[in-house]
Amino acid sequence: MTVKTTHTLKKGLANLEVFSATLQGLAEADSNIIAVTSDSRGSGKLVPFAAKYPKQIVEVGIAEQNLVGVAAGLASTGKKVFAVSPACFLTARSLEQIKNDIAYSDNPVNVIGISAGVSYGALGSTHHSLHDFAVLRAVNNIMVVAPGDNFETEMAIRQAAALEEPVYLRFGKKPMPFLSDNKDFALGKGREIRGGKEVAIVATGETVWPAMQAAMLLEEEKGIQVGVISMHTIKPLDTALLESIASRYAAIMTVEEHSIYGGLGEACASFLLQSGYQKNFKLMGIPDEYTVTGSQLDILNHYGISEKGIADEVLKLLR
Amino acid sequence: MTTKELQIKSLEYRKKVLQYIKKAKAGHTGGSLSCTDILNVLYNEVMNVSPANFKDPNRDRYIQSKGHSVEALFVVLADQGFYPESNIETLCQYQSHFIGHPTRKVPGVEQNTGALGHGLPISVGTALAGKMDSLDYRVFTLMGDGELLEGSNWEAAMAASHYKLDNLVAILDYNKLQITGAVKDVCNSEPIDQKFEAFGWSVKHVDGNDVEALSKTLKSAPFETGKPSFVIAHTVKGKGISFMENNIKWHHGVPSDEQYADAQKELDSQLVELSKAII
């Protein structure tokens, strides 16, 4: 079967570049900002940071458990620490360190998972991070965030740096589109970036853009009004916004670059069901299998996380 | 403190460790007794930390990586004045902060520990921050020899020497036993000294139940400028109680009424001997 690429991205900065630039700005003003990397400064776009602020970067080598422990130790002395590593390793190899040394011990580290989801595409399932929302949602005392564009990334980094609590931030690799003129951003509060009334698509991270494209396509071709919410913070979930959506829309769909188990979709479903809402509901994500080979876009398209795939599911939901 | 005073302290600490484990009907008896002398010397002779300076950024830090010997830590912290000793009576009881591993909810505890192989990486980060800020505090971490089987320790060992952390002192409570049996039989980790030396540490052996030797060794850290220090403290699991010593049954054994009375009697008689020696 030939996989057709049904959406393309506008050229823009990858959110990792925005992360790096934002962190440099913060480091300029505050010598307590420290990046800790595990041979990941290149993929984390932190080479310019390292060149400019060599005293504010700690390299621990390929040692993710130590990365998180060292970050916790630094944070315990008052440093504002960003622990950077590929999301797949950081949230699996170091899960116990994130749980115990950061979250349980209340050491306010910013845990930065880079090249998340299927960003590493053809490198295969060892390098995919489709479990991170699930495992970290189950860890007490850590926020889970996946920004949907460069604006959200910059705001999330700035706000996380100012927080005195642990935050997990998940970033992909590819250039990010610009989503909205809406300049409201607060960690913990979702952004309704496109209004509608029939179906609300609640998406996160890099899936917000194909959700937007699907919404535009449906309006253009079918006249269906689809709202899009960037639910950048998955935990704590913005339940007030979900309640509002449930009262205004006929159906709700969630989209994420994550296993169908334990991510945004299950978080929304759990809240809605327990709150007594009875809605048409569709959860889109990566099914419970080791993914097909291909680029990130190939993989997302294969599983229908694309303009056309999402639009088709919206139509099914409305039937 | 004189050596005799320190020895008396250790015996008193051991009596209390057993008292609270007996009351809680839970605890890691053998390991708490093996590291009692180390904690005694650290808090009474070596470290610059107290309730008065606990918020001072330049205080020395103690991180107990082998968290399961927390009963010894609770007794020593109470003796230092971090909280009334009576608080330990709630050990392991419903809603108590005095749980079976260190938590920061107990005054004087620096980090939450318990899962093995976590203390050394955290200590590396804490020591690194001291270097960054040109503060002269030291970081002491207590590790178990069974714990050394966790790979995260070796990641941290490399980082510590890479960053020349001579403000870091790791102390191995080398009692040679873990829950299943002898460490050398479970998964032989010898030669530990050569491994740490190869990883760039400066290593010393010491009798970990000899307060005088411990004091001398720990006060001499860093052993070499630019290198982290590793103290292999040879200890006896269940130290001080004849029927507990070197017996893995006492890893987390709780004494019966009779065993408890016998154990306290043994410790009391050692106290009497020591007191006589002072006079």
Q: Do B159 and A66 touch (CB under 8 A)?
A: yes
Which letter, b or e, does each residue of A269-305 get, where b requires 16 or more Cβ atoms within 10 Å of its Cβ? bebbeeeebebebbbbbbeeeebeeebbbbbbbbbbb
Q: Do A76 and B114 touch (CB under 8 A)?
A: no
Of residues A35 and A12, the one with the higher pLDDT is: A35
CA distance B17 to A106: 28
Spatial contact of A81 and A30, defined as CB atoms under 8 Å apart = no
What residues of chain B score a pLDDT lower than 50?
none
Chain A nearest-CA residue for B63: A73
Query: How much of chain A exceeds pLDDT 90, in percent?
Result: 89
Nearest to B112 by CA among B101, B122, B103: B103
What residues of A are in contact with residue B152 (Cβ under 8 Å)? 65-66, 69, 97
Whether this model's ipTM surpasses 0.85 comes out as yes
Alpha-carbon distance values, A165 to A31, A141, A222, B276 (Å)? 19, 8, 45, 55
Spatial contact of B267 and B240, defined as CB atoms under 8 Å apart = yes
Best probe of the A interface among B68, B124, B155, by most A CBs < 10 A, is: B155
Q: Do B121 and A70 touch (CB under 8 A)?
A: yes
HSE at residue A317, side-chain half, CA atoms within 13 A, is 25
Q: Do A73 and B121 touch (CB under 8 A)?
A: yes
A73 close contact with B: CB closer than 8 A = yes
A185 close contact with B: CB closer than 8 A = no
Mean pLDDT of A291-313: 97
Distance of CA A70 to the CA centre of its chain: 24
* A41-80 pLDDT, tens digit each: 988 899 999 999 999 999 999 999 999 999 999 999 999 9
| A9: pLDDT strictly greater than 90 | no
Enumerate the H helices of chain B as residue ranges: 3-24, 29-41, 70-79, 119-132, 152-162, 183-187, 192-198, 211-219, 257-278
Name the pTM for this structure. 0.94
Tokens of B181: 């049996």
Distance between A155 CA and the closest CA of chain B, angstroms: 27
**Tally of residues, chain B:** 279
A75 close contact with B: CB closer than 8 A = yes
CA distance B70 to B72: 5
pLDDT at A6: 37
* A143-202 pLDDT, tens digit each: 999 999 999 999 999 999 999 999 999 999 988 888 888 889 999 999 999 999 999 999
Distance between B112 CA and the closest CA of chain A, angstroms: 5
Mean pLDDT of A222-244: 97
Chain A nearest-CA residue for B161: A60
Best probe of the B interface among A36, A60, A82, A140, by most B CBs < 10 A, is: A60
pLDDT at A13: 85
Chain B nearest-CA residue for A59: B159
Instruction: Please list the residues that pair with A229 across neighbouring strands.
Output: A192, A202
Best probe of the A interface among B65, B126, B141, B199, by most A CBs < 10 A, is: B126
A79 close contact with B: CB closer than 8 A = yes
